[in-house]
Amino acid sequence: MANLAAHNLKLVQIARFAGPYLITHISGSNPQLCELSCSVLVNLTLSGDEQAHKVLLNQELFNNLLNTSTSDVENVKELSYQVLYNLLTHGDLEAESFHALVENIVGNLSRRPPIHLLWVLFSLSSNQMLHGVLYSPGLLDTLLQISTYEIFQKCDSRPLVRLLTPIVRVLGNLAAGPGSVEVSLHLIRHPDFPAIVTALLSTNYSSLCQETVWLLANIVNNESVVVQEEFVEMDLMDKLEHPASSAVTRLDPYCLAG
């Protein structure tokens, strides 16, 4: 079934006839069956087939995925969030599901989260109507802790882009939303923020560098006088001016510095 679903073959039929068994397995106590069933569900939802998604959601897939995402098995957690991300990005979840998903994400966010949990968080942060329930100082602190660990405390830099890209996008979205003043001030005042942004602006990964420039621009361009004054008073302008200018030049060699 996983192979058939991966090749987009008869997705609706697989969802209709195999869906109840797959959902039963992800709710069961057998880790291997749970992981394999989640893999099938990832493939079933990856293509964005609206009819297949509707069939699965009518079979109570969403609530069971929320339960499965708290599993002690790392692969099961990762796959569960990947299915949720597929459903969310294709717009198949109803509005009332968003709040339950926000509670799940905030409750399970830790210093070493599943990668797709962060991508689900990014998708949720793209909806400004959710910023009121999504934003909290604790969430920002945890995201900055993950960034600090990934940049400065790990020897292996390979997961760097996969983890930091959704984090920077989440921060960028929140810094441009209804609570942008509170978010911007919290980031400016965080002791690790200058070092994190400087490291991201200096990275060789152009996509991550570009996302960081966007985040910084959202903070700098905030209309709040308080944000602007604190940005200047805390010497962030001096600390970040050269890294930001170098990053922009690398991204657009034809752009005039300054």
Q: Which of the listed residues 72, 93, 114 is the one where a domain comes to its end?
A: 93
Mark the ranges of the chain whose per-residue pLDDT is less than 70: 155-159, 253-258
- Number of domains forming the structure of the chain: 2
Last residue of one domain, picked from the residues 38, 63, 93: 93
C-alpha–C-alpha distance, residues 102 and 97, integer Å: 9
Residues 139 and 80 in one domain: no
Residues 63 and 154 in one domain: no
Residue 144 lies in a domain: yes
Is residue 98 in some structural domain?
no
pLDDT value at residue 16: 94
Residues 158 and 77 in one domain: no
Segment 250-256 long-range contacts (CB within 8 Å, at least 24 positions apart): 250/206, 250/209, 251/206, 251/209, 251/210, 251/213
Q: Which domain holds residue 228?
A: 131-258
pLDDT at 140: 95
Q: Are residues 256 and 205 in the same domain?
A: yes
Residue 242 lies in a domain: yes
Q: Write down which residue in 93, 123, 152 finishes a domain.
A: 93
pLDDT of residue 92: 72
Co-location of 1 and 89 in the same domain: yes
pLDDT at 258: 47
| 6 and 88 together in one domain | yes
Distance CA 47, CA 39 (A): 14
